[in-house]
Amino acid sequence: MPEAIATLTQRLAARFGERLARVADSLGQTTVEVAAEHLPEVARTLRDELKFELLIDVCGVDHLGYGEDEWDTRDVSSEGFSRGVEGLGPGRFAWLDRPSRSIPNRFASVVHLLSIAHNERLRIRTYCVDDFAPTVPSLVEIWPAANWFERESFDLYGIVYEGHPDLRRLLTDYGFVGHPFRKDFPLIGNVEVRFDPEKGRVVYEPVSIEPRVLVPRTLRDDSRYLQAKAETPSPKAV
């Protein structure tokens, strides 16, 4: 590896080439996008050659409605902005009226790695090709710690990890229907539970609560990062 290639981003681009769909640095974090068919090979190389020996986390992402907010900031009254009049945030819309998204693939699996040897962190993002049956390869054989993380992602997002030795729900009940972290899952749930004294047992019934918008979703630039960037000295000043 040439000595001139110093940064992690440059080393990754030189090592994997076209097998990486994208390599980017943002807010001090390096992120690579890897197609599902290349994920096992890239992951094994990251562990064995580039010394990313520790898997920190595996999580799912649902991009349905990505980039859209529901706080109406156009109509202003003497009492301030109206509160979430659009009501199209996660869990507050019917499937036929679902919001659009600016990202082609709805689901993605994200892996966070740590290299203790080089004190470097890396994020791997793999998009699922099929929105209705999201699937990515399992990384349990490479990092055994991925076992429960992938089960959690499967339970909450419905992402299937091919090759997982025991892909079962982890956090929800045995008979639970749906995946509660998906953006189209109702915030109030699908059923409610109560004790029926006449039947002498617990019964499940359709939810009787009407959904309300109490804390509308809005998109803002995080001032913490803007302030940190302003306080960071330029290379010429160092």
Q: What is the pLDDT of residues 152-178, one digit of tens each?
A: 999 999 999 999 999 999 998 877 888
Radius of gyration of the chain (CA): 22
Question: What's the rounded Cα separation, in Å, for the pair 69 and 196?
Answer: 41
Select from 212, 178, 183 the least CA-distant residue to 90.
Answer: 183
Domain at 8-176+210-237: CATH code: 3.30.460.80
Question: What's the rounded Cα separation, in Å, for the pair 37 and 14?
Answer: 19
Q: Poorest-confidence range of 13-17, 57-61, 173-177, 226-230? A: 226-230
Amino acid code (one letter) for 105: N
Q: How confident is the model at residue 211 (pLDDT cuts 50, 70, 90)?
A: low
Dig out the tokens for 32 from the structure: 């690579």
